[in-house]
Amino acid sequence: MYAEERQQAIANQVRVNGRASVTALASLFDVTSETVRRDLAVLERNGHLQRVHGGAVRPGATPVVGEQGIDERLMSHTDQKLAIGAAASRFLPPDGGSVFIDAGTTTYQAALALPRDRRLTLMTHSIPIAGALAAQGAETLHVLGGRVRGLTQAMVGADTVAALERLRITTAFVGTNGISIAHGLSTPDPDEAAIKSAIVRSAHRVVVLADSSKAGHEDLTSFAALADIDVLITDTGIDPDFAGALADHGIETVIA
């Protein structure tokens, strides 16, 4: 693809979706982040978009209030999410095992970082994660059906929960909007919470991927207790006292 064609495609992405992140665009077009930034600079000069930290938005766009969509969250704590996603591969099961990857931007980075030479059954209910895994040539990939929640591009609803309840997953990589000592893991949307809860119940090992901004935060709907978690992979910003409290609950904290 020529630069002009890629830039036109990027402009269309921003026009249709309202925004796009450097990370997502680099993955989509199989180019470096620096190449994407140069493209965004050209498009901004031509009035097609407005550059923001980590990506671009439509010209004159105003900040989003409330729960953020995928593109907004991809542009938040990017370096931490990349490191956490890479560290997740250390917790893959042996060949022949199964891995469920929850919807989310940190879990998306874990999907991108998966080694391609492993014989694993991969499962997800996330459209972006399924697309990324398929593009990487995942040999055995299952995508759970259901109703698509547009904000997160994840399958939700009774059909998705029922499918999860029939599974016995070796390892689950789970994202969260908040993790507190008192009330465990939480997320804003009840439908998403029901899916996350079903993932946790179906997995033999639960590895939570969350940057340190989620520590001590509580959102609307709880979906798992600390007793349900085996490992938390986070970043260097985690409070040592918080990590110590997690250890008291039997949770291993890994700093990426």
Identical fold for domains 3-63 and 78-255, yes or no, is no
The whole-angstrom separation of Cα 245 and Cα 179 is 12
Q: Which amino acid is at 26?
A: A
Rounded to 5°, the CA angle 196-98-199 comes to 10
Average pLDDT over the chain, rounded to whole?
A: 90
Q: What is the CATH number of domain 78-255?
A: 3.40.50.1360
Is 135's pLDDT higher than 70? yes
Q: Where are the domains of the chain?
A: 3-63, 78-255
The whole-angstrom separation of Cα 144 and Cα 231 is 24
pLDDT at 61: 60
pLDDT at 76: 58
pLDDT at 65: 43
pLDDT at 68: 57
Is 129's pLDDT higher than 70? yes
Res. 63 pLDDT band, cuts 50 70 90: very low
Q: Mutual orientation of helices 105-113 and 127-135 as an angle, nearest 10°? A: 10
| Ramachandran region, residue 4 (left: φ > 0; alpha: ψ -120 to 50; beta: rest) | alpha
**Using one digit for the tens of pLDDT, what is the confidence trace for 192-251?**
999 999 999 999 999 999 999 899 888 889 999 999 999 999 999 999 999 999 999 999
Architecture of domain 3-63: Orthogonal Bundle (1.10)
The whole-angstrom separation of Cα 97 and Cα 27 is 27
Query: Residue for token digits 């890629």?
Result: 6
